[in-house]
A and B are shown apart, each in its own frame.
Chain A
Amino acid sequence: MRVETSSRIRVTVNGTAYERDVETRRLLIHFLRDDLDLTGSHIGCDTGNCGACSVLLDGTLVKSCMLLAVQADGASIETVEGLSEGDELSPLQQAFRDRHALQCGYCTPGMLMSATALLARNPRPSEAEIRKGLQGNICRCTGYWNIIKAVQQASGQEVAE
């Protein structure tokens, strides 16, 4: 006999407070996408490898498919939708655009969140550090070269042409 359980959780996402009943087994990514309709974060795999669902949970980079929504109770979450001020792109978003660091744009939200976390802890990462910082995010369009340049640009460093 299947037992349905649900819990009431409170989260703040991009500065907005939400209170919702969720099934205990609901993944955080499905909670964000389906319950809160924040569809910027994506799903690209079943195994935690692709990073398309990356968000910041109380400032820590997490893959939101690897957490249950109930585990986020009380947390403050940042997603791609919170990166820009109004329609003004953040320096990182602008750098992705300038450097053609995205094609289909499906991995981009997760990639931006990983890069945001990287720059928060290491404002001037070396190329090797950028590659390591983004190794949890799969991009199948760009080959990463332009993404690395975009992060270099956003961190105010010289970009190797």
Chain B
Amino acid sequence: MSETTVAPAEQEVAAPQEEWKGQSLPRKEDRRLVQGQGVFVDDVKRHNMGFAHFVRSPYAHAKIRSIDVSKALEAPGVIGTLTGDEVATLTDPFFQLSTPPGSQIKDYALAVGRARFVGDPVAIVVAESRELARDAAELVEVDYEPLPPITDARRALDDGAPVLHDEAGTNLVWEGVYEWGSWDEAVAEADRIVKISELHFDRFNSTPLETDGALVEYNAGTGQWTIHANNQFPGFAVIMMGPAMRCGIDKLRFVTQDIGGGFGNKITSHPQLVAICLLARKLRRPIQWTEWRTEFHLSMSHGNERWFHDVEVAVKDDGTLLGFRTKALDDAGAFTRYEPLGGVIWAQVTPGMYRWRNVRLEFTQVVTNKAPVSPNRGYSRLQHLWFTERVIDIVAHQLGLDPVAVRKRNYIRADEMPYTTPNGCIYDSGDYARMLDTALELIGYDRLDERRREVEGRGKLFGFGIGSTLDSGTNNFGQSRLINPELQFSGNNEVATVKLDIFGEIVVTIGTTPQGQSHETTAAMVVADILGVSPDDVNVRAGHDSYWNSHAGFSGTYASQFAVTGLGAVKGAADRLAADIKKIAAAVLGADGPDGIVLEGGFAKRADMPEAALPFMAVGAIVNANNAVLPEDAREITLNQRYVYVPPFQIPDTEKKYGNLTLTYAAQVHVALVEVDPETGVYEIVEHAAVDDCGKRIHPQIVEGQVMGATAHGLGAATHETFTYDEDGNLLTPNFYDYHVPHAMDVPPLKTGFVESPSPFTALGTKGMGEGGGAAIHAVCAALQDALRGAGGAIVHESCNPPHRVWGLLSDPESSRRRVEVVPA
């Protein structure tokens, strides 16, 4: 056996450039990840840990008469159990965001008295190994009394429909009317009204490859839990968990290093984390829990399924869009774990990319016997933007107009930015028409007719479609008050610390929980520019730890905001550290105040005499270990700066439902080309183009990577991915065997492009980005509808169109066309 002594890695980045921002540098994260040295939650181990396995309901809806764990407790290797009754004794129901009736829902870490979806956890068994825990879980005897389920949200409010939550007395969670401008005026000005009876956005999620998990340790002496987990929004998790567990939030220490994808789906794991915390305390052992893939599909974080009924669009004959009204119906699944926020989040992008000023939307959210929903990449805006895009193309189809021309006629124009939407949101910057032109050029729009003829010559149908969407980022949490005016949330925040340590090390911590978004790399670039060093000199701690004191109430990685909130915090802290360093150097070098110092190449130098220079190591050493040399007025300097970035938000007007709900608006325009077999409905996306505008790009390669990833999610959602339930509430797509996500052979040739419209509202001109997958979903829908023009002219009315649905549209175009009607205004 030989031993190797490994020297520290050499500098990887070339000599300092003019500015690091804007360059595609090698990612800091990659070196460990390509060597299998990442630390994901299931990699965390502790001596004597027990393995948890959940017992789950096989029924969509059932009364739990009793649970008997005695046989499980006698099984080999079993350490203990937890049941819903214990949970109901030891904890309080989770805080609900809704007003009544939704607020009456009682949600616990395990099912109490009743199971409400297939996969609802009713008990947990902990054993010495994963296998023994799973064996023993089968010995838990649960006496169920099956109840009729409700699986179609459209029937959830019918008289006599089974009610999930007796306390609420109804399946209604929340309803509200949003109205801006005047529908009557839109009608008065319009030539025609286009009516669409029903559009349906499917239930799916982006299924991160790593499932949920935790390793929880309980310190009996301090009453503190250390939760190694992959929850992506610890700020929200502790707000939910602390009150439920009857403890202060400082008792809940969250630790994360690497997370294997999140996409919003890892925001609502707080019930499971509470259950594991209770077991760690009860059994006085570290408890390990890793969700199985099938459990994830059955029970976690489905995207909101939404219907749009009684759609009416006021339009002029030239394609000018004046307004729309509709009734949106949202299926939350069995519990409201982040809901009913989906009932307002869509309003960030009320008019989509278009100039219509008159909007009325009646929103209703209900519970059903399906897995609870939670945010999924593009959360709630995805559904709404698909709706606005579908409306554009259906209007164009019905009036015989060109979808490109209709978009250009109605897009908000670059010279109108910043643009205030009918509901008071402010689109910061953008040039949507230019983005569309860029996408059309990428796809070879001028040669499209030729291509169509070639494809049709082969007996296929050819389709071209556009999807244009917004990725609104940096939430104003004050929008929660449009759901419930009593809620005391508003604004947003993120925290970073930057310090210069004793040997001149620059150390950065951030409150975020990245899942592939490259925060270590981009944060280092921002700090390097400010301190005049290389990104290699900047050590950004991987992951999140509540004990670093670098987090605030909204800390996490979600909702397209890092480039604004995270980097805003990093910039703020680095600016303050730079000021500290200059102050020390000025004192030591006898400069004429801090302004007489420049930071360059790891030195603080006198601007007027560059040979008078202090290396950062000396600065760090003086403050940390030799501070008696400092003059009195420099002794308060710590070289350890913490900055909380707070975006400039106001509380929205809850009466008018008016106000700015997000700070930045990244935009996407996608174009898809499809070839459809008219006999079978099998189709291929033969080419796809994605153009993104997220303002100033800190790292173009990372931005493009996010665009690609979001595109793949959109393509998966457009072509295959649905959580389909049968009428008894059984999930028919409970794993990757049945739930088909794109594989390497499925993704089409992709061309990417960009437009850069810096945000006037952010510290670096950046916009949050990464959730632009909705454009891809719609581009495929539009391309299919275009292809079907020559084969019956069906109207695409669902977001997910696997070949069997396309075949349905081909074989019976009439029933889809009956959904649409054009009447004179």
Contact = CB atoms under 8 A, between A and B. Distances in A.
Contacts of B243: none
Interface string A70-113: 00000000011101101101000100111010111111110010
B34 A102 contact: yes
Nearest to B750: A145
Interface in A2-24: 2, 4, 16, 23
A134 B26 contact: no
B34 A96 contact: yes
Contacts of A148: 744
Contacts of B706: 103
Contact of B209 (A37, A52, A81, A97): A52
Interface string A109-152: 10010000000000000000011101111111111111110000
Contacts of A108: 33-34
A115 B135 CA distance: 36
A87 B712 contact: no
Nearest to B706: A103
B338 interface: no
B71 interface: no
Contact of B31 (A34, A40, A89, A136): A89
A127 to B, nearest CB: 9
B701 interface: yes
A57 to B, nearest CB: 17
A42 B518 contact: no
B40 A42 contact: yes
A56 interface: no
B784 to A, nearest CB: 20
B9 interface: yes
A86 B130 CA distance: 33
Nearest to A144: B744
B709 A42 contact: no
A64 B633 CA distance: 63
A138 B746 CA distance: 11
B36 A144 contact: no
Nearest to B36: A40
B743 A135 contact: yes
B736 A49 contact: yes
Contacts of A4: 76
Interface stretch (B254-262, B405-413, B474-482, B668-676): B254-262
Contact of B744 (A34, A41, A147): A147
Nearest to B292: A46
Residue with the greatest number of chain B CB neighbours at <10 A, chosen from A44, A81, A141: A141
Contacts of A109: 36
Contacts of A40: 35-38
A132 to B, nearest CB: 6
A133 to B, nearest CB: 8
Contacts of A16: 1
A42 B129 CA distance: 18
A40 B715 CA distance: 29
Contacts, number: 194
A80 B35 contact: yes
A96 B711 contact: no
A63 interface: no
A134 B713 CA distance: 18
Contacts of A42: 40, 42, 209-210, 260
Contacts of A100: 24, 27, 701-702, 704-705
Interface in B688-741: 701-702, 704-706, 708-709, 711-713, 715, 735-737, 741
A159 interface: no
Nearest to A17: B1
B516 A33 contact: no
B488 interface: no
B709 A142 contact: yes
B30 interface: yes
Contacts of B43: 33, 39
Contacts of B26: 97-98
Nearest to B711: A143
A43 interface: yes
Given A86-B4, A132-B745, A140 B207 contact: yes
Nearest to A89: B34
B516 A105 contact: yes
Contacts of A47: 293, 735-737
Contacts of B501: none
Contacts of B135: 2
Contacts of B57: none
A41 B747 contact: no
A104 B258 contact: yes
Residue with the greatest number of chain B CB neighbours at <10 A, chosen from A30, A33, A81, A103: A103
A23 B135 CA distance: 14
Contacts of A26: 131
Contacts of A96: 30, 34
A50 interface: yes
A45 B210 contact: no
B653 interface: no
Nearest to B701: A100
Contacts of B210: 42, 44, 104, 106
A89 B292 contact: no
B431 interface: no
A143 B744 CA distance: 8
B703 to A, nearest CB: 10
A38 B38 CA distance: 11
Contacts of B711: 143
Contact of A25 (B45, B131, B518, B736): B131
A6 to B, nearest CB: 12
A49 B42 contact: no
Contacts of A49: 735-737
Interface of B: 1, 4, 6-7, 9, 24, 26-27, 29-40, 42-43, 45, 76, 129-131, 135, 206-211, 258-261, 263, 290, 292-294, 515-518, 701-702, 704-706, 708-709, 711-713, 715, 735-737, 741-745, 747, 750
19 contacts: A33-B43, A34-B45, A46-B292, A46-B293, A49-B736, A49-B737, A83-B34, A87-B31, A93-B34, A100-B24, A103-B516, A103-B518, A105-B30, A106-B210, A106-B261, A112-B34, A131-B744, A142-B705, A145-B708
Given A47-B737, A86-B6, 12 more contacts: A4-B76, A49-B736, A50-B209, A81-B36, A84-B34, A93-B35, A104-B209, A104-B515, A105-B32, A106-B258, A141-B516, A145-B708
Rank and list the top 10 A-B pairs by shortest CB-CB distance, nearest first: A40-B36, A106-B260, A105-B33, A103-B516, A143-B712, A104-B516, A80-B36, A49-B736, A39-B43, A44-B209
